[in-house]
Amino acid sequence: MSDAEKKKLNKSELATGLVKITQKENDSSEHIEKQLKITQTQTDSSENTDIDTEEK
């Protein structure tokens, strides 16, 4: 393999590596968003419970 071919290969490997890193970041941010939504739902339901007990 010539040096030019090696450089092309390295660039494509680097691009693939960057895509994987970006994918990991996306996955973790999606996971955080899901956790926030779950927390929000739990907060909403606990607020509803407070309202219910006040009315009784």
Backbone angles phi, psi at 2, to 5 degrees: -80, 165
Residue 24 burial (10 A CB sphere; 0-12, 13-18, 19+):
exposed
> Quick one: pLDDT at residue 34?
81
Question: Taking the chain, what is the end-to-end CA distance rounded to the nearest angstrom?
Answer: 81
Q: How far apart are CA 9 and CA 16, in angstroms?
A: 11
Max CA-CA distance within the chain? 82
Rounded Cα gap, residues 21 and 30, in angstroms: 14
Q: What is the pLDDT of residue 47?
A: 66
Of 17-21, 38-42, 47-51, the range with the lowest mean pLDDT is 47-51
What is the average per-residue pLDDT within 15-40? 78
